[in-house]
Chains A and B, each alone.
Chain A
Amino acid sequence: MDFQTLKEYLPFLIPLIILENSLSITALVHVLRHPHYRFGSKVMWILIVLFIQIIGPILYFTIGRGEE
């Protein structure tokens, strides 16, 4: 894919990248600030949240997040 094609799809890619990253960053901040999880360790959740797009943060917020 050359630069011209990439430029053509920028109006899609920019919002998409912002959205996906905002989801993982919110989850990452939450993982770092609340070190209690229902299961798993901090390192495991950081990896899941950062490297599994979309599903990772959802998993963290639904089943991984501990009670305050």
Chain B
Amino acid sequence: MNRYLAFFKKEIIEYIRTYKLLIMLIVFAIFGITNPLIAKLLPEIMKNLATDGFVITLPDPTAYDAWTQFFKNATQMGFIVTLILFSGVLSSEYSKGTLINLLTKGLSRTTVILTKYFSMVLVWTICIILCFILTYGYTVYLFPNDITYNLLFSVFCLWMFGLLLLAILMFSATLTKSSYGCLLITGIIVVFFMIIDIIPSIHKYNPISLVTDNMGLIMNSIKVSSLYLANLISVLLSIISLILSIVVFRKKQL
């Protein structure tokens, strides 16, 4: 346990010194503020774009628009920034050879993988909570009368998909030596999830539904119970990826 804590501390210090924590916090805070703002200003912007004989009318913005922005930003830019920042999780250690000292001193490879995963998870959790709180605060301030359903569960699904992505990232980091290879494998797996989503009967089990059904949840057009299976499968896949990455990393030559 002591080793986990020591290595965990090292990881967090690394995130602070390499500015990764700062970037994540600022980027998610910016998203948190812009989500409701864009929703509120979009009709205004469209009005300015309109010229003679070409009028764009949009309905009055609601809290749903703000949450649409939230889930759009978090699942696109949010995930991209997170993955790019964390893509060097093992490759930077390989290239600098910093792990060799620790491993020869008796740190187990399982500890390395698990601690790295959980420190990434910690940063991701803090960022998504920050983004959520900011969006929630400003949305309530701008659109006080709109009712949203299942908000927390919807964000929980997003968070859960983040955990799965980080586990896949960890696994692909053990497979390759470079951070680009790691990003590529993660990208291919996500695209694979998207492609199999075409088959309607798989949608219920596909983890990608955790980030595509959020707006349905908030508008109460999708039942909460329909996502239980996807959540469960997402947890299982995360655990499998972690176990696989430990197995691969143990055999890996540093």
**B29 CB-CB contact with A under 8 Å:** yes
Report B135-149 residues with CB < 8 Å from chain A CB: 138, 141
**B27 CB-CB contact with A under 8 Å:** yes
Least CB distance, A42 to chain B, in whole angstroms: 18
Other-chain residue from A9, A15, A58 in contact with B23 (beta carbon distance below 8 A): A58
**A22 CB-CB contact with B under 8 Å:** yes
Residues of chain A within 8 A of B19, CB atoms compared: 26, 30, 61
Interface bin, chain B: 20 to 34
B22→A62 contact, CB < 8 A: no
Residues of chain A within 8 A of B36, CB atoms compared: 12
Other-chain residue from A11, A20, A30, A65 in contact with B30 (beta carbon distance below 8 A): A20
Number of A-B contacts (CB under 8 A): 43
Q: How far is the CA of A20 from the CA of B88 in the complex (A)?
A: 24
Residues of chain A within 8 A of B12, CB atoms compared: none
Q: How far is the CA of A22 from the CA of B41 in the complex (A)?
A: 24
Report A27-62 residues with CB < 8 Å from chain B CB: 30, 54, 57-58, 61-62
B96→A61 contact, CB < 8 A: no
A58→B27 contact, CB < 8 A: yes
Residues of chain B within 8 A of A62, CB atoms compared: 84-85, 88
B18→A54 contact, CB < 8 A: no
Other-chain residue from B27, B33, B88, B96 in contact with A12 (beta carbon distance below 8 A): B33
**B81 CB-CB contact with A under 8 Å:** yes
Task: Check A57/B33 contact, CB under 8 A, given A12-B138, A62-B85.
Answer: no
Residues of chain A within 8 A of B85, CB atoms compared: 58, 62
Least CB distance, A56 to chain B, in whole angstroms: 11
Other-chain residue from B29, B41, B88, B138 in contact with A19 (beta carbon distance below 8 A): B29
Residues of chain A within 8 A of B141, CB atoms compared: 11
A16→B22 contact, CB < 8 A: no
CB 8 Å contact bits of B1-39 with A (1 = contact, 0 = none): 000000000000000001110110011011001101100
Chain A's closest residue to B180 (CB) is A63
CB 8 Å contact bits of B61-89 with A (1 = contact, 0 = none): 00000000000000000000100110010
**A67 CB-CB contact with B under 8 Å:** yes
Query: B residues engaging A (CB < 8 A)?
Result: 18-20, 22-23, 26-27, 29-30, 33-34, 36-37, 41, 81, 84-85, 88, 96, 138, 141
Q: 7 closest Cβ contacts across the A-B interface?
A: A12-B37, A23-B26, A61-B19, A16-B33, A19-B30, A19-B26, A19-B29
10 further A-B pairs in the complex, CB-CB below 8 A; given A12-B36, A23-B23, A67-B96: A11-B141, A12-B33, A15-B29, A16-B33, A16-B37, A19-B30, A57-B23, A58-B27, A58-B85, A61-B23
A-B pairs with beta carbons under 8 Å apart, 20 shown: A9-B37, A9-B41, A15-B29, A15-B33, A16-B30, A19-B26, A19-B30, A19-B33, A22-B26, A23-B23, A23-B26, A23-B27, A26-B19, A54-B27, A58-B23, A58-B27, A61-B18, A61-B19, A61-B20, A62-B84
